[in-house]
Amino acid sequence: MAYSRAVRPAVACALCLSLALGAQCACAFCGLYVGKADAKLFNEASQVIIARDANRTVISMRNDFQGDLSEFALVVPVPAVLQKSQIHVGDPKIFERIDAYSAPRLAEYFDANPCELDKASRSMAANSPMAQMAAKEELRRDTALGVIVEARYTVGEYDIAILSASESNGLETWLRQSGYRIPAGASKALQPYIRQNLKFFVARVNLAAQAKTGFSYLRPLQFAFESERFMLPVRLGMINAKGPQDLVIYALSRNGRVETTNYRTAKLPANVDLPTYTRSEFAQVYKAMFETQAKREDFRVVWTEYFWNMAWCDPCAADPLSPDELRGAGVFWLEGGEPPIGATSGALPAVSPLSRQGAQPVMLTRLHLRYTPETLPEDLMFQETKDRQNFQARYVLRHPWKGDPDACTNAPRYFADVAKREEGEAQALASLTGWDVDQIRARMSIPTQPRSTWWERLWK
């Protein structure tokens, strides 16, 4: 993650998921939104919001630390010494909102009565593909260690120190003497950042201030700075990493989709028809699917789960964020706020047709990656592309019409089509999740298909 925990929480977030029944979408063909698979699903998934426009960046980090608060510590490399006013304690709800809004979603449709369709005019049939369209520390000691405490602040429940160091061993010793339980060998990971003249943002919980807040949890830390580097220092978080880790990045930009430049960014398979029984277990389906896809690419791909203009959604897993919520998430370029960067230097500000209609020029890219120290050797570098094509990890349920197979001349053909469609759904689910296709067929109560090749039939 973008930070290293002094002690890793022993309690993992319980595998929980809320299946909310949302309101019907305004758009007719997007179907009824029935569920989502949010970040809570992935144990210990770190969540970061990065709001960036030109060289201005606001990073928000969610702290889901579950242990003794006196043991919590955070070390983040930052490009400059941050002033107190550049550090802010945010509202944890913002992560919940942005997660809910961008989570992979499930939409469902109900087939129309095929007999009714039969009666409809043939010109209507021409419109039917539309209905089927699948719509993303002391001074002396410090000096001896080569560590300079550039600044100290207390912001909210956090005691923050901004350090600059000249030697990684000195920094490791300083942190240890100051009561931070830094894992052994951390100096090797700290060294590249020191040599790049980066400063270190070190935070721990001020228990007295924390008690005053009245919250039982830690609020997210936010910091704003200006830097040409559009990156996330994830390597430091791998010192004490055990096994694959999950990271969800919500990138908020003005003009277009955000992607990684030193790793491949790919879109998850989406807009796939799934068997209707997955309605109640979409969370498990999505988890298995993400694991299968990530493993298939050797954990070397950064997955795009969602990219959309924050003004709207279709179907909506949650309402779009309000301008206040967007500011809470670090968006600094909203109307009535900052003028566009470069506007004074004569460059044309980017004005989208949507912003002229009153919508906020805020794009959200949700990136999800599962990684191990081997598969992520270099910190994540990003770029904002000019891509504005919406994408969502959306999955579709199609409920067949429940009627008499002999109701009309169209009915038998309809049920034959449904059988073919259901077989396709079973195979799609098996391919996406790596589950056994026969078990899926059994759950769907559809007949098991004969083995397709002669050797499969021989050694079944």
By the rule CB under 8 A, 77 interacts with other proteins: no
Under the criterion CB under 8 A, does residue 241 sit at the interface with other proteins? yes
- 56, 300, 421, 443: which one binds other proteins (CB under 8 A): 300
The residue among 166 and 213 lying less far from other proteins, judged by its C-beta, is 166
Backbone angles phi, psi at 315, to 5 degrees: -80, 160
Q: Among candidates 391, 358, 349, which has minimal Cα distance to 254? A: 349
Which listed range, 86-94, 115-123, 181-189, 272-280, lies at the site for other proteins (CB under 8 A)? 181-189
Kindly tell me which residue out of 377, 405, 412, 424 binds other proteins, with binding defined by CB under 8 A.
377
Q: How far is CA 426 from the centre of its chain?
A: 27
Cis preceding-peptide flag for 377 (omega within 30 of 0): no
CA-nearest of 431, 447, 395, 411 to 109 is 395
How many residues line the site for other proteins (CB under 8 A)? 51
Residue 277 in tokens: 């029984």
Query: Could you give the string, one character per residue 251-280, with x where binding to other proteins holds by CB under 8 A and - elsewhere?
Result: -----x--xxxxxxxxx-------------
Identify the residue among 301, 313, 326, 396 touching other proteins (CB under 8 A).
301
Q: Return phi, psi of residue 248, to 5°.
A: -115, 125
- The C-alpha atoms of residue 194 and residue 175 are separated, in whole angstroms, by 14
Which residues are within 8 A (CB) of 427 and not within 5 positions of it... i.e. 6 or more apart? 437
Write the interaction track for other proteins spanning residues 29-68; mark x where CB under 8 A is met and - where it is not. ----------------------------------------
195 in contact with other proteins (CB under 8 A): yes
Which parts of 201-230 interact with other proteins (CB under 8 A)?
227-230
CB 446: neighbour CB atoms within 10 A? 16
What are the distances in angstroms from CA 42 to CA 16, 19, 269? 9, 15, 18
Map residues 388-427 to x or -, x wherever contact with other proteins holds by CB under 8 A.
xx--------------------------------------
Q: Select from 145, 240, 246 the least CA-distant residue to 189.
A: 240
Contact positions vs other proteins (CB under 8 A) = 168, 185-186, 188-189, 191-192, 195-196, 227-231, 235-236, 238-239, 241, 244, 256, 259-267, 295-296, 298-301, 372-375, 377-378, 381, 383, 385-389, 431, 434
